[in-house]
């Protein structure tokens, strides 16, 4: 028996379990990985509880006693402030660094001045450069479009650069004045009463994001990767993002990727077996085409701001943010998260839909390579929604739906779980 003293994080002792290691940007996953979780503010406690109930049930059904996530609560946001006097304790960062993979509920962010978003802080600290948002339709979810089922896209949004990097200077500040002066020297007129934001996009950042999107497409059998940009106007950031994306695709995946022009000139419009189409679209046209030609998209790689808008627009198309999952992934760390906010208006009332965090936890299962458990949970969610046994946010737009509380919805999902037949013999 080991006599080593176990580390503690904010007073909580590390549970029995193992640490996920990373090799070439990919996780090496033991059978009992320790995974820290941040419950989240507002509805966080309710949706976290529901998520773990479904998550654990799916893992148990898939693997019996042979695999289990050993979870460790870490703190951020209001709960951290109340218990430790700070919104993001060092121990939380230390735990995420040590264990590599974590999941979090929503955290409240004050708008305007003051504290920087905790979410942005976490993404920066761990260089989580890909914000990954899968958007797919679950039959029965109310949607404003006629064919929501046509959309099944995974959006890779660059997470660390662009105007979102937070390089901003207030109107009248020393740096804003200096930049305006510098621009004037270059013959560019900017009004004195301007706030200044800087848009940055590096070659390094563009290449690694597009690479991650292409690797995802290869691993998941997806047939189209679309680079979305606004390079017709912003040539040296957005246009360069496209250029560098095409560059890495040609360098590292030239044997797999087929360009749109080659698709027509060499393959008569038919993608050859085993190949992936690499095309590109202007951002505004993409909003139009996501709605009108939804099935033409499969994986999107784009810059930070475009990705932010596109992810929410796509989520709206399949029934809203309440069911849209997300993850922030780097080379040595991955953080899975609900994409909606803390919903203070319904917090503590048992009304919250846990699907966003729950589907994020399913993304985490897929990331861990525990695909059987992911499949069990996904099918059970789909069945529960098809049965019209859902939380109020969905029920109120469905005909003859039965409204469930957050925890009853989680229990209904567990009741609807069935073990895939191909694994039945192993138990
Ligand atoms: P919100 O997403 O919390 O709420 C918008 C509306 O959607 C509300 O009516 C709410 O009741 C509803 N809603 C959200 N999630 C729901 C769920 N799971 N089930 C049922 N209904 C749900 O956005 P809001 O009000 O703009 O932001 C509240 C706080 O959350 C702010 O402090 C904001 O900064 C923060 N926030 C945090 C995010 C994160 O941690 N990733 C993302 C977005 C906002």
Q: What per-residue confidence (pLDDT) applies to 115? A: 54
Q: Residue whose CA is closest, atom 16 of ligand 1?
A: 322
Tell me the pTM: 0.91
The half-sphere exposure of 137 on its side-chain side, counting CA atoms within 13 A, is: 21
Give me the pLDDT at residue 409, please: 98
* Ligand 1 pocket residues where CB is under 6 Å: 43, 47, 106-109, 119, 322, 337, 340-346, 352-353, 356, 393
Measuring from atom 1 of ligand 1, which residue has the nearest CA? 341
**Predicted local confidence at residue 422, as pLDDT:** 62
- Residue 13 dihedral angles phi and psi, to the nearest 5°: -75, 140
pLDDT of residue 2: 55
Could you confirm whether 331 is annotated as catalytic?
A: no
Using the mean position of ligand 1's atoms as its centre, give its distance from the Cα of residue 388 in Å.
23
- Confidence at residue 385, expressed as pLDDT on a 0 to 100 scale: 95
User: Which atom of ligand 1 is the closest one to the Cα of 106?
Assistant: 40
Instruction: Note if 295 is an active site residue.
Output: no
- The CA-CA-CA angle for residues 201, 204, 207, to 5°, reads 95
Cα R_g (the chain), whole angstroms: 23
Minimum CA distance residue for ligand 1 atom 42: 341
Whose tokens are 């090799």? That residue is 23
Q: How would you label 307-338 residue by residue, b for 16+ Cβ within 10 Å and e otherwise?
A: bbebbbebbbbbbbbbbbbbbbbbbebbbbbb
Mutate to test the pocket of ligand 1, among 41, 316, 343, 391 (most ligand atoms within 8 A of CB): 343
Among 403, 336, 269, 366, residue whose Cα is nearest residue 128: 336
Domains of the chain from N-terminus onward: 14-128+331-418 (3.40.718.10), 143-161+201-318 (3.40.718.10), 163-199 (no CATH)
CB of 156 closer than 8 Å to CB of 213: yes
- Whether 308 sits among the annotated catalytic residues: the reply is yes
- Mean pLDDT split into 10-residue runs, the chain, 427 residues: 80 95 94 97 96 98 96 94 91 96 88 61 90 94 92 96 91 98 97 97 98 96 97 96 98 96 94 96 96 97 96 89 89 94 94 96 96 97 96 91 97 93 50
Q: Rounded CA gap, 57 and 315, in Å?
A: 27
Give residue 427's pLDDT: 37
Catalytic residue among 99, 137, 164, 367: 164
């Amino acid at each position: 028996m080991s006599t080593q003293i176990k580390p503690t994080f904010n007073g909580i002792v590390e549970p029995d379990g193992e640490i996920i290691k990373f090799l070439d940007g990919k996780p090496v996953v033991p059978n009992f990985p320790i995974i820290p979780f941040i419950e989240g503010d507002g509805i966080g406690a309710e949706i976290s509880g529901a998520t773990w109930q479904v998550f654990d049930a799916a893992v148990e059904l898939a693997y019996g006693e042979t695999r289990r996530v050993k979870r460790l609560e870490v703190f951020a946001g209001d709960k951290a402030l109340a218990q430790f006097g700070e919104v993001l304790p060092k121990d939380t960062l230390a735990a995420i660094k040590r264990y590599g993979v974590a999941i979090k509920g929503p955290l409240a962010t004050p708008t305007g001045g003051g504290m920087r978003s905790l979410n942005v802080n976490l993404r920066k600290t761990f260089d989580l450069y890909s914000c990954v948002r899968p958007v797919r339709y679950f039959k029965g979810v109310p949607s404003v479009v006629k064919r929501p089922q046509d959309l099944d896209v995974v959006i890779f949004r660059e997470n660390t650069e662009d105007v979102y990097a937070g390089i901003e200077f207030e109107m009248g500040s020393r740096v804003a004045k200096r930049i305006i002066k510098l621009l004037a020297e270059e013959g560019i007129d900017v009004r004195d009463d301007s706030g200044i934001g800087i848009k940055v996009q590096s070659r390094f950042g563009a290449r690694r994001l597009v690479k991650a999107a292409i690797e995802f497409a290869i691993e998941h059998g997806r047939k189209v990767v679309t680079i979305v940009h606004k390079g017709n106007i912003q040539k040296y950031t957005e246009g360069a993002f496209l250029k560098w994306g095409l560059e890495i695709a040609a360098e590292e995946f030239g044997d797999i990727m087929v360009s749109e022009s080659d698709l027509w000139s060499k393959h008569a419009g038919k993608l050859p077996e085993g190949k992936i189409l690499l095309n590109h679209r202007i951002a505004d046209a993409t909003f139009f085409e996501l709605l009108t030609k939804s099935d033409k998209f499969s994986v999107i790689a784009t810059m930070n701001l475009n990705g932010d808008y596109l992810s929410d627009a796509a989520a709206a198309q399949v029934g809203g943010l309440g069911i849209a999952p997300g993850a922030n992934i780097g080379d040595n760390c991955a953080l899975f998260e609900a994409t909606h906010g803390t919903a203070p208006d319904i917090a503590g009332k048992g009304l919250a839909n846990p699907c966003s965090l729950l589907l994020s936890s399913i993304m985490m299962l897929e990331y861990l390579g525990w695909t059987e458990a992911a499949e069990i949970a996904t099918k059970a969610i789909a069945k529960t929604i098809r049965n019209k046994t859902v939380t109020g946010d969905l029920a109120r737009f469905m005909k003859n739906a039965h409204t469930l509380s957050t925890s009853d919805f989680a229990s209904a999902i567990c009741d609807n779980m069935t073990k895939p037949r191909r694994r039945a013999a192993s138990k």
